[in-house]
Structure 1
Amino acid sequence: MRTELVSEPGGPGRPNEDFASVGLPASGLGGSLVVLDGVTPPRDGGGCLHSVPWFTARLGGALTELTVSLPDVPLPELLSRALIRTADSHAATCDLSHPRTPQATVVLARWSPASVEYLVLSDSALLAGSPDGSVTALLDDRLDRLPRSALATHALVDTTLRNKEGGFFTAAADPSVASRAVAGSLPREKVRTLTALTDGAARWVERFHQGDWADCLALVREEGARSLVDRVRDLERADAGLVPPRAGKTHDDATVVHVELSPR
């Protein structure tokens, strides 16, 4: 098995709010990956004394440990347990009911000799490449399906859409959100590669339309995860001169985790 991990902040001097890990159990059978994309907090801090990187490190660390140590527990249940553990670590000091309490998008994958389990919550992506070259994009597209007018301001999003029915869900303090994730499993023999991307790296497909998901996976396999991030940065720099400027961050944290599973 070969793994590759690249994670880069959106700019110098800015903290990287993403988290990424690959876990390999001591048995040598199977493994897991975890990718989180922290949600940038509002200026008031979201009622929390802690930073988003603090939150993603703790949630990501819990998920890395649990996905390896509890192989028989389904991924949604593991996410719920990790959210409870993380919330308990700062519930006494922070307002976890705030709609922008620290939170993150989630991609989980866990493989064994028999299956590949997956979980996706919000707008990060997981690509499963098969031995025949086809690619399955495992996505939670609820945010993409919302009208742009509904996303006009942070206040509007927070009061009407964030972690609400008819809107979209992220991993924050409420463990029940784990049941809202896109989750399932694939036969192990149908999966040769797994590639997880935060939306900062997925911009190559979703924002700049340089190719589809199959093209994106081919680029990572042929040139490496670093090449994908570098290409996104080049496109962002070229895009910065547009008049009027495109909405959203010029640069975003970008993370790619690529795993080549051993042939069955």
Structure 2
Amino acid sequence: MQTGWMRTELVSEPGDPGRPNEDFASIGLPASGQGGSLVVLDGVTPPQGDYGCLHSVSWFSARLGGALTELSVSLRDLTLTEILSRAIRRVAETHAGTCDLSHPRTPQATVVLARWSATEVEYLVLSDSALLVESTTGEVTALLDDRLARLPRASLATDAVADATVRNKEGGFFTAAADPSVASRAVTGTLPRDSVRALAALTDGATRWTEKFRAGGWSELLALVRKEGAQALVDRVRALEAADAEERVHLRRSKTHDDATVVYVEL
């Protein structure tokens, strides 16, 4: 049984208030009191034009995230890989009859999924969102799927090149779209529950503080969230984006503001 208290915090802010937030975040705490789970998705914005689907990316993120939230707390006998596979299949079946799910830009998302019990913490990371784990001794480890970051920049020069050569392809990178087998490509693992003090799951709109602007390392990012809250991290990212909007020293070709989501859990 879960004992003592637990601090949880969730912030998700769109990059553009005039557009739907394509991120999804949830924390599941079963009524049984046995453990819990967190889900963070970053919906992948498609380029302009037809992407084979009648539905929006936010529609997809909401359904995949909802399925992951339910399955991660109700089917504790399944691994996180099996849960992601089942959730992808469930969502695909809801629109396979109306949409071209083979299109390379069919709605898709990055995934961070973590689940804890009295004895262990399981994790799954797919694509470029991040899961930070703080140990009981204060060490912070970033659990990342870094395949996208390791690709030659030429393979990402245009959307067409990326879609044809590396998106959801062997030797490239993978996202959760319509193929359940992609779940086996995720970075997964299990940690002893008594070695983990806190978890922080972030979309790349929030990890910009470390990865793009180099304002601090992963340990400093987690310390900021613990001390000042998840909203403080997002606010600092927004300030850095605004300051770099003209020169684009750090932003370069990236959108000025991205959807930013932070989920923080102290176990």
Both proteins in one fold, TM over 0.5? yes
Runs of 4+ in 1 over 3 A off after TM superposition: none
Distance 1:236 1:243, change over 3 A: closer
Distance 1:8 1:243, change over 3 A: closer
User: 1:50-109: CA deviations, max 9, x gaps?
Assistant: 000000000000000000000110000000000000000000000000000000000000
Moved more, 144-153 or 240-249: 240-249
Give the TM-score normalised by structure 1. Answer: 0.97
Q: 2:48 aligns with which of 36, 43, 49?
A: 43
CA distance in 1, matches of 2:196, 2:152: 34
CA distance in 2, matches of 1:75, 1:212: 28
Deviation at 1:219, TM superposition (A): 0.6
Q: 1:259 aligns with which of 243, 262, 265?
A: 265
- 2:266 is equivalent to residue 250 of structure 1: no
In structure 2, the residue matched to 1:178 is 183
Q: 1:162 aligns with which of 156, 161, 167?
A: 167
The aligned amino acid for 2:100 is D
CA distance in 1, matches of 2:82, 2:50: 29
What secondary structure is seen at the aligned counterpart in 2 of 1:55?
helix
In structure 2, the residue matched to 1:103 is 108
In structure 1, the residue matched to 2:19 is 14
CA distance in 2, matches of 1:57, 1:88: 15
- 2:154 is equivalent to residue 149 of structure 1: yes
CA distance in 1, matches of 2:51, 2:111: 20
CA distance in 1, matches of 2:261, 2:51: 24
In structure 2, the residue matched to 1:239 is 244
Moved more, 236-245 or 58-67: 236-245
Q: Structure 1: which 5+ runs fail to align?
A: none
In structure 1, the residue matched to 2:141 is 136
User: 1:14-52: CA deviations, max 9, x gaps?
Assistant: 110000000011110100000000000222241000000
CA distance in 1, matches of 2:114, 2:88: 17
Q: Structure 2: which 5+ runs fail to align?
A: 1-5
Q: What is the alpha-carbon root mean square deviation over aligned residues?
A: 0.9
User: 1:133-174: CA deviations, max 9, x gaps?
Assistant: 101110000000011121100000000000001100000000
CA distance in 2, matches of 1:92, 1:78: 23
The aligned amino acid for 1:77 is E
Q: How many residues align?
A: 261
In structure 2, the residue matched to 1:118 is 123
CA distance in 1, matches of 2:248, 2:207: 23
Deviation at 1:234, TM superposition (A): 0.1
What secondary structure is seen at the aligned counterpart in 2 of 1:6?
strand
Deviation at 1:243, TM superposition (A): 6.0
Give the TM-score normalised by structure 2. Answer: 0.96
- 2:239 is equivalent to residue 219 of structure 1: no
In structure 2, the residue matched to 1:74 is 79
Distance 1:49 1:114, change over 3 A: same
What secondary structure is seen at the aligned counterpart in 2 of 1:133?
coil
- 2:178 is equivalent to residue 202 of structure 1: no
CA distance in 2, matches of 1:133, 1:184: 20
- 2:132 is equivalent to residue 127 of structure 1: yes
CA distance in 2, matches of 1:103, 1:243: 28
